[in-house]
Structure 1
Amino acid sequence: MAKRLTALTVKSAKLKAGRYGDGGGLYLVVRESGSRSWVFRWRERGTGKQRDLGLGSAGLNGVSLEDARERAGELRAGLRRGVDPKEQRKEADRATVDDTFGGFGDALLEAIKPGFKGRNQHNDWKRDLEGHCVPMRRKRCKDIVTDDVLGVLKPLWLTKARTARELRGRIERVLDAAKAKGLRTGENPARWRGHLKELLPKQPKTKRHHAAAPYEEVPSIVKKLRTKHTTADTDVNLAGEFVILTAVRTGEARFMTIREVDLRERLWTIPKERMKAERDHEVPLSGRAVAILRACMPKDAKPGAYVFSGQWRKDGSKPLGMNAILHTLQDIYPNMTTHGCRSSFRDWVGDETSFPREVAEAALAHKVGDEVEQAYRRKTALEKRRKLMEAWSAYVGGGMSSIVSLPAGEQRVQAG
């Protein structure tokens, strides 16, 4: 078979964009960008449709002309035996994939990890795949049946309802992905509607509340935090006070970076990637909150440095530990959680002030109203929230009378 390409031609910088044949269905494809690759072309048996299969990049550090010809020869030989090149490729790919539930699930987790909102979501997946799914990990995906899924769900279904529901959903996703990869066929044994829903008992309804201190106790908690800070060698007590002052979620404060804060405007913008609502959230900063940030920001740190540094890395390269703020607060008030600080704030706003509900909910980064209302109302009441957060700061700081200052025109009410 006469060959029409040479190794020098393949490497030549003078080749224009186009397709260059080498004979026997092998082509060199050159793109406008200058990149080049090998393609094998054939006609499908029975239909006569033209098909292409990529054989890899060409040129420097790519597949050589000799190797491309050898691969094309193997594909032609397969065609003569009735083997479809694309099916042959799929079989080869499947042969290199770990088709056990554990191996494939771990690989899937790594593939989808970039789309997670935070580290906790990744840890939860690992807990489920490596811990709860132990009885299934060595089984091939195609061999997993309903009884296997029930075997890992039943011990948790009534005692740890939320964990069990999340576990079922993750098993379902792994098996769906395995089917998409050709590693199993048929219905998903972890599907809910019309399947597991009919086999598992109804879970008891439980309403979870984060432990919170009554807002009347918050000023004394803040006072103790400030006292502890005078003898501490870390900024964790200030971080605890900052969480209370801003009513944000702990993770949002832990991973705050210097570039997110505008001290002149007294504004902290949390990027949507770190927000539960998946949209940027502006947090107006009270005077005390700004003072805390000035005290905690690592000196001469880069914009990407964390404001609240870990105890052993005070250059801002590591954030505070996951439970550091929680433990600090519970040392003062044992029946308290960091998320509960948000509840204390919300109760105070509702009981002791006349700030509108919408302003309070916006301060907590909650969505207000249905989709139509949200579409029309895109402002976040920033200036009203700024007055609200100053009033809250004055209240928890204990440096005010029992009167809460409200926006102009609104009635003043007793704070306690």
Structure 2
Amino acid sequence: MSQPALKKLASKPGRHADGGNLYLSVSPDSSAKRWVFLYRWRGKTVEMGLGPFDDVGLAAAREKARGARELLAAGKSPLAAKRDQSARPTFGKVADDLIEALRPSWKNAKHGAQWVMTLQVYAKSLRPLMVDEIETEDVLRVLRPIWNDKPETASRTRMRIERVLDAARASGYRAGENPARWKGHLQALLAPRAKLSRGHHAAMPYAAVPAFMQKLRQNLSISNLALEFGILTAARSGETRGTSWSEIDRLGAIWTLPPERMKEAREHVVPLADRALEILDLAKRIAGKRQSELVFPGQKLGTQLSDASLAAALRRAGGGAFTPHGFRSSFRDWAGDETEFARETAEAALSHLVGDDSERAYRRGTALAKRRELMKAWELFLNR
């Protein structure tokens, strides 16, 4: 049918057949025009809209009608299939809903902006896809272009895609394995990530940390002990330097950091392995006249060690290219690549929020025991 003939037909009220169950439906006053697909289903005539005449061309309408006829031939109602399709969310919809659900738990707007940027820019190709149709190759198309050039961004993108697909599965929109899972899946398809840095904190590759620890232990000083304690516990520099004896439960072998000392503003309990407990005893013994409520006192009575003192200890032991904070990344990479501990356990050891409130409440009873095993394994690795 020519375009002039089609326009002429569109000016006449009524239904105009194109063939194959496809009709152009024009309202009595010719103000509304749309494509419809008419078919019989269970003894009744069913009309399914295929879109406005002005927005959907004849070729597109015929293609939609062809798809509807294929469904009929397969014994399926095209209208029911269309409604089912509408009920299935896209990856973008699930991602946006997850961001809004997580937003109240984020301490600052920057964190939320990073999630939005990652899932809107780097995962852009996934957004229009139905969340239940996303497969491994779809995820790889996102990751491969940035995997080597932007390893940290790629890693965060993968983890956030995994989180979105986990949320879709929890909501009943997906089934089966997560195609963005690293261990035992993408790990076999992508090269190991470059791990020289995370953000602005240069991180020592975890394979090099045991040899570094041996050098660090050759010089017994408060700053060296504090750095080693921070590495063993995967703590931030400020958390380590501000450790007080009142936070230590020697009998229970735990270190409890109050909310006011945590970046996340919530209490964090750290299980202490044998070497961490030994460090506490050594620190008390060599503090001498500087002994105070602080476990790792500074040069002046009652003052903390400076961040520079930990950096100096790191440099003296041959790790000057890295930062004290970077050892948290070393620990996380080791836990993810070399152990079978769950991702949630490793993230909890870093005091990172994982899951919603109900998930965290469910895990609370066993998290400490699992993290104690994780920190023992970390100590054993460092003592090699």
- TM-score, normalised by the number of residues in structure 2: 0.45
